[in-house]
Amino acid sequence: MPAKKNPLSPVKKAVVKRKVTRKKATVAKFPYVRVTLWAFVIAVLCSPFYYGYVLKTAVTTWRWITDIGGNPNYRTYTSFQIKIPAQYKIHGIDVSYAQGKINWDKVSKMEEDSVRISFAFIKATEGLLTVDPYFKRNWREAPKAGITCGAYHYFRPKKDGLWQARFFLQNVEIEKGDLPPVADIETLDKLPPQVMRKELAKFLKYIEQKTKVRPIIYTGISFYNDYLKGYFDGYTLWIAHYNRDKLNLTEDTPWQFWQHSETAHINGVNHVVDFDAFKGDSLAFRSLLVP
């Protein structure tokens, strides 16, 4: 017979050992990664390129807003960052040493809504001694990109007009298909207007005699009205008059080129550029070129 169990005898309980789960400390194996990321963010925020992008976006947006309700034929072209009169179909620029080294291939490929660079006036000389340091390069490279070119001389009335013409032709070889040479006249050099006109006439006459091409006269609208109007009416004019939807000259004024902006942004050029429009169509443009 089995022995009786004592009800008061203690019952041993099995001790259940708890597993203590310790959280593994997350150790940054690569502490320099976070530092590098923060350094990159700070560098971007402090970069002039970042602020240049922000500023460009803000300016473009503001110009788009200001164009609302404005003249649809004189609106801002975002790529060029200027307003362009829409009635003209042939556009160009004029450059000098001030624009530095130009990538003419990029210039020729830039286009927005059928506006592209078709021609360029390039500074060659000034006075009797100065040759633009970038003239030879620009004169060589721009035509390779398909851009029609013309050379201009910055005229100084205090210097002999005949000798300035000779100096210009010593440095510029004008060929078939070029735009006519240009006399850029913007100042009296503290001389009486009649002296300026006398020397300018000497320059123009000699250039035409030697090249068989009548030069173009470039000047500002005020200078033209004050000192040139009525004296050189047989010459094609290239007039500077900025930030207007039309050139404020009488219908009988013989202008063909209008420099309507001096702050254009052009691909391939590191500085702002003067922007020009040709008055006529492609047929009139071709008829103006050196035969």
Question: What's the first-to-final CA gap in the chain, in angstroms?
Answer: 140
User: CA of 6: how far to CAs of 9, 10, 11, 14, in Å?
Assistant: 5, 9, 11, 20
Residue 172 to residue 166: CA distance in whole angstroms: 10
Q: Which amino acids are annotated catalytic?
A: 94, 186
Residue 59 to residue 82: CA distance in whole angstroms: 11
What are the residues facing 275 on neighbouring strands?
A: 93, 261
Q: Which of 89, 79, 82 lies closest to 119 in space, CA to CA?
A: 89
Q: Which of 102, 111, 109 lies closest to 139 in space, CA to CA?
A: 102
Residue 8 to residue 44: CA distance in whole angstroms: 81
67, containing H or E segment:
helix 48-67
